[in-house]
Structure 1
Amino acid sequence: MTPLPIVPDLAGLADTPVGVELPRLAVGEPWFTCQVAGLQFYDYARRDEDLDVVVMPANGDVLQLVRHPENAHDRNAIEIHWRNTRMLGHVPRTVACDVAPLLDSGAPARAYVVDAGDGEAWSCRALVVGAAAAPWHERHMRHVVNEALYAVPEREARLHRRTLKRAERAADRQAAMRTRRLRQAVEVLMTVPFEPELPAVGSHCDPETLARALGCSRSTIVRLAAGAGIAVGRYCTWLGITPELDAALRAWCRAPRSKANLGEVWGVRHHRQEPPYEWARA
């Protein structure tokens, strides 16, 4: 969003009639810009049959503001003329209601073209300079001040929130990548044989300790023990290590495992959440 200007942008127009206003605008002369209303109903962008040219003002041209209190639709109507003979349109009604009383009281107002437009309705913009522009100039300056006090911190807050969202998305992508790599590693390791550290034959051990040593579930230990001829009850807390059970456990470790639940393998999401961005209005 472009900051509101303190003076109108007249770049490239210094050598046009509006250029005479630059020193006055620099010292704070009231001004405002507005669209020209009703372009499609009057002479704008129409061909002059007598001169065989299209009525199209140039940027920087002088305009004339003509009060028309007898207008049936708006007693505050202000007509906008070009070269004193061609009516282009009106000052918008919302602006005219403030400017017309000042014009009626004798307040001066000078008008110029600052954007000639493209021939379509509402495409031409006018600059009004002088005491009659004071109400809308004051309104514009209030917007400038409010933007300086509030809008800039708000934009910074929005930028900070967007930065946090991008950081969150980056953290999610990295976590997904770590998850894929971790799952690939698990799939590979499940096929690699290994020699477990088991209790000595003839000793006793609880099924949970054996499960941790083999990296499997308690039910797998119960199944292997049953294959070795040892019945393990639900509440069994000690298991005798026989030669047959020792051989069964080591055979299981040397065989590929294929029942890993890869859906439960997740990469850790490393991202430190920043505190909320706070700002106070001055």
Structure 2
Amino acid sequence: MNHNDFLAAQFEEHRPHLRMVAYRTLGSVAEADDAVQEAWIRASAAGSSGVENIAGWLTTIVARVSLNLLRASKSRAEVLVDAHPSVPRGDRPASVDPAEEAALADSVGLAMLVVLDTLGPAERLAFVLHDMFAVSFDDIAEIIERTPASARQLASRARRRVRGTRSVPDFDLARQRQVVDAYLSAARGGDFDALLSLLDPDVVLRADTAASATDTAREVRGALAVVRRALTFTSRASVTAIALVNGGVGVVVAPGGRLLVVFVYEFAAGKISGIEVVTDPKRFAEYEIAVLDE
């Protein structure tokens, strides 16, 4: 076996790992595949002569490519949001298999992908490489062109964002989660009576302009009216995950891990007393979204 064949065989052996590094960094199957392909082009052009740790070397290459793509993607997203606030960022090319994308998202966790999407490129890469793939801060520092201490700080800051806060406004998070889990289950099953039992009689549902574009009212009061409106919203929300939103239990809608809708809940006496439906990307920055521990 000549050197090129050896490198190709090594690359194929490590391809699943490289693809997962790229996916967790980029949050997109299509972009992850592009990153892996670009990594192969760079690796084959450079050659691996003198490389002792092939897996680490290939991981570094795909991480650098992913960082460049992530920076470019963030820049494009900012332009799209400024120009077209109501345009979702989660569009995917037709060539991407939805089932495969869903499986990859499940392997990471939808809430985790949403939180990662709120991080800056260097911050996200430092967290992903260190906390998910045990890459040393010395190696991460070379990739992001920072000092090891700076790489460590970026990962630590990202970790705090991922874990979020644990402030509880009315009753404990476990009870909040029970209520929201039951609410989502009832909404998906169209169980009208169960939904009513979980709502405060004076509950208020508020939707931003984009969310209410096809409906007549941005604010609905009373359990009966809210149930009817909530069923409409939930029927559109096919990809949901429970997460911490500003320290309380909420729900995010994020096809492919790209945040499209945030449901913010208020609670009183063990029931849902308020629901806010937010779809404006410019408002997402108002919410601290974090992974909710199992």
TM-score, shorter chain, exceeding 0.5: no
Q: Could you state the TM-score of these two structures normalised by the residue count of structure 2?
A: 0.18
- State which structure, 1 or 2, has the greater radius of gyration over its C-alpha atoms: 1
Higher relative contact order (CA 8 A, sep 6+): 2
